[in-house]
Amino acid sequence: MKHPILLSCAFAIAGHLPAAADESKSPNLPPLPAGQQWRMVWNDEFDGKELDPAKWNVQGDHVRKGGMWLKKCSLLDGRGNLQLLATQEADGTYGTGAVNTKGKFEHKHGLWVARMQMPKQPGFWSAFWLMGNTVGKVGDEGMDGTEIDVIEYPKRTGELNMAVHWDGYGKDHQVRGTRHFDKAFTEGFHTYAVHWNEKEYVFYYDGKEVWRTNEGMISRVPQYIILSNEVGSWAGDIKEAKLPDHCLIDYVRVYDLEGAPPPVAEESKPSTNDPLVAEELRVRDGLPNLFAKLKAGGPVRIAYLGGSITAAEGWRVKTTAWFKAQYPKAEILEINAAISGTGSDYGACRIAGDVLEKKPDLVFMEHRVNGGGGFEAKSVEGIVRRIRKADPHTDICLVYTISEGMLKDLQAGKPPRFGSIMETVANAYGIPSIDLGVEIARREKAKTLIFKAKGWQNGNLVFSEDGTHPLEAGHAIYRDTVVRSMFRMMPLDQAKAHALPQPLEPRCWENATTVPIQKATLSAGWKAVDPAKDPIYRGTSGRTHQMLRGAVKCDRAGETITVKWNGTTLGLSDIPQGDGMELEVTIDQQPPVTIQRPQTDKRQPYSRFFYLPEQEPGEHTAVIRIKSLPEGTSYYAGQLLVVGEVMP
């Protein structure tokens, strides 16, 4: 007989049990921090002579995979077990058993445990899995339902399979999984479990963790239990099986997590994180104002400042969707301030107009791949200080993406050079950083991901086709990395004003800005560009307008742009054309410098930008003269990029 029990330790079941449970067969539940406990909310011990119809649907009779699900193959054995048979019928058909709790017990989150003894014969596999009514839906990834395979047993060699499936079972189908090997698994009873919580799935075998994942996002809908046998070649040749055979299930139990864990504060003051070591997350002072506002509800503005990786409909869009799903009472407003081909230098010049005017609560800074134009430390610190000066309650999070040239360094535990520069700034200002490349590098090294490839790769996950820009699956990994980092930072949710220490770089770009080209003195040959009609400007119209914003053009050499400014650095956004375009620049009547402006993109006239040599702080005058133009082309000049201020 199975006796009811209550246990009070960290491994215990707490509260009133829904049904009697055998003390000798109580599972090893995952340990919990003080203040939390497991409470059983549903179970079946399979006592008695017949399966409880209030709890279970018996599936059949109908075709399933390479055989049939037959109702007669699902029964209690009279010794406290559910028996799922595999048989060969008189007509040669192979029959197997399956049951589910659809419409009778459907639940969200919790610890789901089954104690099972697996079959011996080949050709069919036993499984304990969770299913939802909307798993076939495409568009919200796994949030609208995920097939969660707690255990599948296709081989007879001690191989356990665990997986999650989402976005239906057609062309959009996605799956992630793993295998675990243990010869002991082939004999006797063992427990299989998944802890499904709001941030991840954690899988257990005999009480020991064997896999955790948050890929595909996390299901947010109630799901039901399926226990099944299925015939298929994945499990070997059924013709070699000596039937009947069976899978036995001693019990199925579902637990909820109760109680609140003690708060975990991961901030470090002052930060001592080594900038020469790569880590996925460094919490530092966290994002306290963001989480305080998210918990309170109301509008929360999240800005994304970066290049083409962030401009794509990828990790940015997926991360915003997660925030909206995680905090339905808050109004999440996205500020997309990403421009392809730009780094921290251009970001420092445009942060005021593109981001700060919109009053963000959080600014994600993604600049590692595109760099800082030779002004890395100055521009990164300039962005940080500009944000902090505008509103000390605005949180900042550095996000590091990856390109092919960074792979070996990250696999060796070292960040790229620009990454270490940004980490130095993050340490000084208490800014959290998330290195999305660490997980990609880990998977590539473990051969569970192909970093760069084109086309179908035998079902293997491909990160990118060009070695920089992620495919859909790569962006999903980026998003998942951000999400698990957010969960770690959530406990730091007490709003506060961020301090503004003395600058690390005396000439940091905290006063960088963009200025319309019309503020310069233009020679007579320049004319305004019509953004709606000009064919060169419209070549990549969205990005071009973001870069130039009120351009002028000239079609002959000798035309000039004269700028007077008080500061250190002057730059210009433009559209080069052809191979022979040259500018001659004179600063403060010093010897002229020739700047080559070839168009490196052969497919389209791609807008660019450049800087003149940095000057000592003070007043300066620069004359930019068009030295040469390829025949039939025009030179397009856009915004001035100024560290300092333009003078009349």
Task: Report, as ranges of residue numbers, the positions in the chain whose pLDDT lies below 70.
Answer: 1-27, 260-272, 455-456, 458-459, 540-541
Determine the pLDDT at residue 20. 55
Rounded Cα gap, residues 607 and 585, in angstroms = 20
Determine the pLDDT at residue 93. 93
Determine the pLDDT at residue 18. 54
Rounded Cα gap, residues 361 and 384, in angstroms = 14
**Residues with Cβ < 8 Å from 446, sequence gap 6 or more?**
none
The C-alpha angle with vertex 600 and arms to 599 and 603, in degrees rounded to 5, equals: 90
Determine the pLDDT at residue 4. 34
Determine the pLDDT at residue 296. 93
Question: What is the signed CA dihedral for 595, 601, 604, 609, rounded to 10 degrees?
Answer: -40
Q: Which residue bears the tokens 């330790």? A: 9
- Ordered by where they begin, the domains of the chain are 46-253 (2.60.120.200), 281-489 (3.40.50.1110), 512-646 (2.60.120.260)
Determine the pLDDT at residue 261. 61
Instruction: Give residue 77's Cα distance to chain centre.
Output: 47
Q: Is there a contact between 582 and 594 (Cβ–Cβ < 8 Å)?
A: yes
Question: Which tens digit of pLDDT belongs to each residue from 390-449?
Answer: 999 999 999 999 999 999 999 999 999 999 999 999 999 999 999 999 999 999 998 888
Rounded Cα gap, residues 364 and 383, in angstroms = 11
Burial of 5 (0-12, 13-18, 19+ CB in 10 A): middle
State the amino acid at position 401 in one-letter form: T
Determine the pLDDT at residue 610. 95
Determine the pLDDT at residue 2. 45
Ranges assigned E (strand) in 94-186: 94-96, 98-100, 110-117, 124-131, 147-153, 159-166, 174-181
Q: Please report the DSSP string for 544-556 in residue order.
A: HHHHHSS-EEESS
**Residues with Cβ < 8 Å from 533, sequence gap 6 or more?**
none
Determine the pLDDT at residue 258. 85
Determine the pLDDT at residue 29. 82
Determine the pLDDT at residue 172. 82
Q: Percentages helix, strand, coil for the chain, rounded to the nearest 5?
A: 20, 35, 45
Question: Which tens digit of pLDDT belongs to each residue from 99-110?
Answer: 999 999 999 999
Determine the pLDDT at residue 456. 63
Question: What is the signed CA dihedral for 521, 525, 531, 536, rounded to 10 degrees?
Answer: -120
